[in-house]
Amino acid sequence: MNRPSDEANALYIEQSNLAARLLVHPNTPLADEQKILELIIWDVGLGAASNAMAAINPFEKLYALEGPSALRPLRIISFECDLDPLTLATKKSARFPHLQHGAPHALLANGRWTHASNLLSWELVKGDFSDHFPSAPAPDLIFYDPFSSKIDTALWTSAVFTRIFAHCQPKPVELYTYSAATAVRVALLTAEFFVAEGVGTGPKATQ
């Protein structure tokens, strides 16, 4: 069984090439510096914050190595209707290395956390994802990690994916998920997403 942090890195961080996306292109003219847009991630299904913290990790590493001028602003928006998993996990953070950080504790307490550089913000949207995402800015990346379709059926339908696709237009967006189910692939295709093979985790060869 994979550790949550390993799965988060393999499925979401490495596949999306997040570290490279965070870097400002070295040939960006000085006149264009003010035009550098923030990178927006939708973290759908916060859970115990494994995916969001996996995204924060490369930002902080790059910030330490390259400095603030090398980084694009990053905004993470986490959607979750049940905060019990994160609440319980933060109380036992000695067992969860990714929660030995002030960010998830601040998110629970205030609904928001901001990095000292002001280049990274993480916010919580509590409630049903399908009700709240139309009010959120269109993302560049979606880490789609709700419960399985057997438990959270409504979030895996072509109707929801079609609404997501329409909300993001004309901005290009990439959606990453753990599900390799045929029904999920069909739902994404029906919604006009292109579907590609991804890395697998645990017993799955591909996603």
Residue ranges per structural domain of the chain: 4-22+38-190
Higher pLDDT, 102 or 202: 102
The domain over range 4-22+38-190 is classified in CATH as 3.40.50.2000: no
Residue owning tokens 């009700």: 131
Q: What is the pLDDT of residues 89-108, one digit of tens each?
A: 999 988 999 999 999 999 99
Is the pLDDT at 67 greater than 50, yes or no? yes
Q: What is the pLDDT of residues 107-163, one digit of tens each?
A: 999 999 999 999 999 999 999 999 999 999 999 999 999 998 888 899 999 999 999
Percent of the chain at pLDDT above 90?
80
